[in-house]
């Protein structure tokens, strides 16, 4: 469905995307996570054709979104993080205007969504709250049952009820067989709830891209108790991040934990807890500050 | 870089940093006029400057600079003049600074800048010999106008658009007082006495305005018009489907931009045509008023075009295409087509107003006979077909000029590149400033006129060559980028050729004289019918939409 190959994008001296390659087959939910300025929105804008690939290529449904905007955009539902619906329109005008572009527009479904989102059809967009504005955007992105739903930071700045609506929309889209969702978010708990596949972007490169289950299975969170208090944790291959202090330190480790267990035994320490880390912990371990480590004495 | 250590310096730094290029341009202009005055002209040499040259070198740049400073120091570049809320930047309300300082420092900098502008122009510019140019009161007038503009634009209002009306009325009243004083040859001392107290009064008003805006005290009088709003609500709204995406986009463009021109013309026209009641005994004045009414649509279209060519005039970053529009499943050419059609309907609506209002005003004011008498004389002189053709050609010329004004800058504004837009404005201003002296020079020099007349076919051929090579290059780009299909390109070219042939036919029929060669008429027809700039608009939008 989406094929990004060796995509590089620079804005002046800043490299927003550096040789990014990505392939998203049909029928799954892709969570795009990364810190502010990591390149998530830049990647989404390339998928929509709002940015032209400087080098590399982007194909959506096998088409170039810049060369064939009609072919691509008529099959995509998009909710912008900017919530930039025209303020002068009333909701019913927005619906009337939007449905002209999509032959598959489903009036009954649009009305169902409008009622579910409790939106007043006569209300002007500029008078809607931020949450209502997001719901209105979601309504026009969903009402034609697009093959690909793209949500750019859909939950940003919204209350839990609107966030629940957005998650519900994603789940509804998944329920429609063969449809795909690409969404970027800071709220990793939400990504964890609905994503099948997670791609972490860090400083314009892909730090990690794999099915969510595989990511969680390949990481461990271990709490280590040392015999003596330490000012800095030891450096061990595979440990992405250490947190803690004194005698007790917690490591987020990637790969098999055998090497870490052997090292722990060598230090005279012991592992007091071991669990699967949350996506949030994995994200911070990959793209947060580098693990503070020191050569083991 | 050292950071400013006081709020006053910080506010000054922001003005300087944000508008440094404009302020450098102002300094550059003053340097140029000073060079002319002190290095080119001999000391004591009498300066005989005609009005056109004086306007080009002093009046127009000085007025433009003053308006620029007015906008800068009122925060007009960032604010929404039509909004009820103050245009004073809300981010500054949270600074740990007193309201008096928030109002006072920008006012002090603004009034000082405008006063210095006048004093520098008075000192450095070339003023006609034998004219007494005052020093103090024009500086005070500039400062006063700025101070009141600040106070009136920073004030929150109860209704959208009220700010513009109040500001225009108050500033016009102030101007009227000054003009009356000049008319009755008031002394400089009297002028200073009238103007000097205005600045502290404006400061008090500005402080009150900023205080209200700072505590979020925005009056809301819209309830008074709730009944009107209810009537609008009750009017049936169209709910049927648009037959095509192109029609939906045309509706969008019409709602966003299309009504501005007819509305502006509708506001101005009654005031212009009301003058007909004063012109019953002055036939020449009747035609001046009619001319004024005729140039209103193309003149106002030049202002409206500014918003039409902006992809998103509602937001601060108005240059980039908003995602909502950029993600419409339409080609860039289709988005442009909707703008062109909207411009056509907007033009027709504006002209419908003129063509309905003008005969009614002529009839009711009793000046209809003046027009019919002139028409009869014209009929007798050149015959009915030619007279009718002249009238229709003039009317068609005005209508096409209005539409052209609306669409001819699309290829600039839609690029979304601020440097292109500002560069083109600078080039246009430079051209307009240079145009006056060049025209004056041509009028004053018969040898130049002869040379130009002899070289006219060559000049026209050169311009046609430029236009056609630009059009060919644009057509190639359109074809390569697949923004327009082959059929659309061929159909567009065929329409353009037909329009040129039609215009050429009319010109040949009308100018059946041996003094003008037919190929000259053909070259004129090619130059007049728009081609290159309009064809470039889809390329500009695509460049902006797919950055």
Q: Where are the domains of chain B?
A: 7-223, 243-408, 445-547
Residues B152/B70, Cβ–Cβ less than 8 Å: no
**pLDDT for the residue numbered A76:** 93
Greater confidence, A205 or B306? A205
Kindly identify which residue of chain A lies nearest to residue B326, measuring between CA atoms: A50
Q: How many CA atoms lie within 13 Å of B481's alpha carbon, on the beta-carbon side?
A: 22
Looking at CA atoms only, how far is residue A191 from chain B in angstroms?
24
pLDDT tens-place string over residues A124-141: 898 898 888 988 998 999
Q: Is A111 on the interface with B (CB under 8 A)?
A: no
Closest partner CB to A100 (pick from B248, B326, B481): B248
**Sign of dihedral through CA atoms A264, A278, A6, A185?**
negative
Nearest to B327 among A48, A92, A96 (CB): A48
B323 to A50: CB separation less than 8 angstroms, yes or no: yes
Interface residue B316 vs chain A (CB under 8 A): no
A88–B256 C-beta distance less than 8 A = yes
Rounded to whole angstroms, the Cα distance separating B43 from A246 reads 86
Give me the pLDDT at residue B479, please: 87
Q: How far is A175 from chain B (nearest CA, A)?
A: 25
CA distance A234 to A291: 10
pLDDT of residue B55: 58
| Predicted local confidence at residue B213, as pLDDT | 93
Other CB atoms closer than 10 Å to residue B498's CB: what's the count?
A: 11
CB A206 within 8 A of CB A270: no
Q: Side-chain half-sphere of A147: how many Cα atoms within 13 Å?
A: 12
Q: Who among A49, A50, A67 is closest to B482 (CB)?
A: A67
Comparison of pLDDT for A107 and B79, the residue scoring more: A107
- pLDDT, tens digit (0-9, with 9 covering 90-100), for A221-238: 888 898 888 888 888 878
| Closest Cα in chain B, distance from residue A179 (Å) | 19
- Per-residue pLDDT, averaged over A134-157, amounts to 88
Q: Which CATH superfamily includes the segment(s) A2-212?
A: P-loop containing nucleotide triphosphate hydrolases (3.40.50.300)
DSSP symbols for B449-466: HHHHHHHHHHHHHHHHHH
Q: Is B248's CB within 8 Å of A85's CB?
A: no
**Within an 8 Å CB–CB cutoff, is residue B331 touching chain A?**
yes
Residues with pLDDT less than 50, chain B: 316
Q: Is the pTM of this model over 0.90?
A: no
Q: Tell me, what's the pLDDT at A266?
A: 83
Mean pLDDT in chain A? 85
B482 Cβ under 8 Å from any chain A Cβ? yes
A241 compared with A172, residue with greater pLDDT: A241
Q: Among A61-75, A270-284, B40-54, B79-93, which range has the highest average pLDDT? A: A61-75
Q: Do A78 and B327 touch (CB under 8 A)?
A: yes
Distance separating alpha carbons of residues B395 and B421, to the nearest angstrom: 31
| Residue in chain B lying closest to A88 (CA) | B256
Enumerate the domain spans of chain A.
2-212, 218-287
Which residue from B276, B274, B272, B286 is spatially nearest to B373, judged by alpha carbons?
B286
């Amino acid at each position: 469905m989406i094929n990004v190959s060796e995509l590089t994008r620079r804005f002046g001296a800043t490299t927003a995307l550096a040789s990014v390659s990505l392939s998203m087959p049909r029928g799954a939910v892709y969570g795009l996570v990364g810190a502010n300025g990591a390149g998530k929105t830049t990647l989404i804008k390339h998928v929509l054709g709002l940015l032209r690939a400087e080098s590399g290529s982007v194909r959506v449904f096998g088409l170039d979104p810049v060369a064939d905007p009609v072919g691509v955009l008529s099959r995509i539902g998009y909710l912008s993080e900017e919530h930039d619906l025209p303020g002068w329109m009333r909701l019913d005008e927005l619906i009337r205007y939007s449905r002209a572009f999509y032959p598959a527009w489903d009036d009954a479904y649009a009305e169902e969504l409008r009622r579910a989102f409790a939106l007043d059809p006569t209300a002007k967009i500029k008078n809607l709250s931020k949450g209502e504005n997001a719901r209105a955007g979601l309504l026009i992105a969903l009402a034609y049952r697009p093959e690909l739903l793209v949500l750019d930071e859909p939950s940003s700045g919204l209350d839990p009820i609107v966030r629940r609506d957005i998650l519900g929309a994603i789940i509804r889209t998944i329920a429609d067989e063969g449809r795909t969702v690409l969404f970027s978010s800071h709220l990793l708990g939400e990504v964890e709830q609905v994503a099948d596949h997670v791609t972490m972007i860090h400083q314009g490169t892909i730090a990690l891209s794999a099915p969510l289950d595989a990511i969680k299975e390949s990481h461990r969170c271990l709490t280590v108790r040392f015999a003596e208090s330490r000012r800095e944790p030891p450096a061990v291959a595979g440990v992405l991040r250490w947190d803690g202090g004194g005698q007790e330190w917690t490591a987020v480790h990637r790969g098999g934990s055998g090497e870490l267990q052997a090292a722990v035994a060598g230090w005279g320490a012991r592992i007091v807890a071991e669990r699967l880390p949350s996506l949030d912990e994995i994200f911070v371990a990959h793209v947060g500050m580098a693990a503070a480590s020191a050569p083991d004495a | 870089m050292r950071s400013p250590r006081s709020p006053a310096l910080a506010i000054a730094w922001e003005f300087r940093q944000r508008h440094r290029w404009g302020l450098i341009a102002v300094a550059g202009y003053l340097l140029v006029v000073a060079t002319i005055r002190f290095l080119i002209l001999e000391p004591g040499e009498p300066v005989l400057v005609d009005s056109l040259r004086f306007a080009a070198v002093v009046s127009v740049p000085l007025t433009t600079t003053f308006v620029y400073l007015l906008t800068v120091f009122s925060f007009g570049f960032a604010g929404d003049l039509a909004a009820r809320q103050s245009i004073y930047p809300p981010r500054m309300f949270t600074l740990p600074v007193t309201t008096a300082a928030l109002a006072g420092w920008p006012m002090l900098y603004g009034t000082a800048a405008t006063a210095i502008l006048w004093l520098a122009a008075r000192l450095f510019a070339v003023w006609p010999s034998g004219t007494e140019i005052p020093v103090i009161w024009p500086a005070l007038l500039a400062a006063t106008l700025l101070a009141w503009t600040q106070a009136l634009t920073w004030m929150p209002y109860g209704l959208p658009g009220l700010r513009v009306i109040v500001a225009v009325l108050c500033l016009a009243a102030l101007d009227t007082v000054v003009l009356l004083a000049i008319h009755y040859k008031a002394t400089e001392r009297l002028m200073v006495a009238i103007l000097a107290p205005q600045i502290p009064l404006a400061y008090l008003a500005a402080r009150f305005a900023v205080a209200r805006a700072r505590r979020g005290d925005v009056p809301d009088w819209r309830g008074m018009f709730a009944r009107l709003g209810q009537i609008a609500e009750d009017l049936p709204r169209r709910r049927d489907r648009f037959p095509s995406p192109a029609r939906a986009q045309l509706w969008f463009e019409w709602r966003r931009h299309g009504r501005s021109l007819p509305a502006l013309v509708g506001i101005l026209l009654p005031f212009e045509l009301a003058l007909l009641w004063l012109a019953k005994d002055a036939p020449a004045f009747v035609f001046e008023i009619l001319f004024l009414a005729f140039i209103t649509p193309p003149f106002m279209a030049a202002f409206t075009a500014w918003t039409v060519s902006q992809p998103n005039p509602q937001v601060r970053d108005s240059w980039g295409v908003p995602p909502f529009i950029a993600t419409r499943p339409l080609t860039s050419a289709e988005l442009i087509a909707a703008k062109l059609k909207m411009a056509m309907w907007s033009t027709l609506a504006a002209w419908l107003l003129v063509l309905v209002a003008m005969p009614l005003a002529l009839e009711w004011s009793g000046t209809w006979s003046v027009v019919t008498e002139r028409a009869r004389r014209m009929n007798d002189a050149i015959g009915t077909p030619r007279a009718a053709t002249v009238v229709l050609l003039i009317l068609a010329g005005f209508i096409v000029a209005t539409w052209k004004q609306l669409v001819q800058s699309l290829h600039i504004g839609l690029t979304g590149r601020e440097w292109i837009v500002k560069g083109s404005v600078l080039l246009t201003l430079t051209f307009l400033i240079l145009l006056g002296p060049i025209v004056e020079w041509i009028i004053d020099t018969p040898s130049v006129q002869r040379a130009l007349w002899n070289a006219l076919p060559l000049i026209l051929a050169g311009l046609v060559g430029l236009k056609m090579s630009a059009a060919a290059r644009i057509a190639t780009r359109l074809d390569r980028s697949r923004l327009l299909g082959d059929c659309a390109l061929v159909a567009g070219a065929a329409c353009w050729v037909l329009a040129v042939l039609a215009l050429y036919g009319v010109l040949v029929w009308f100018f059946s004289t041996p003094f003008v060669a037919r190929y000259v008429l053909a070259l004129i027809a090619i130059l007049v019918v728009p081609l290159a700039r309009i064809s470039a608009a889809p390329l500009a939008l695509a460049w902006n939409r797919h950055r």
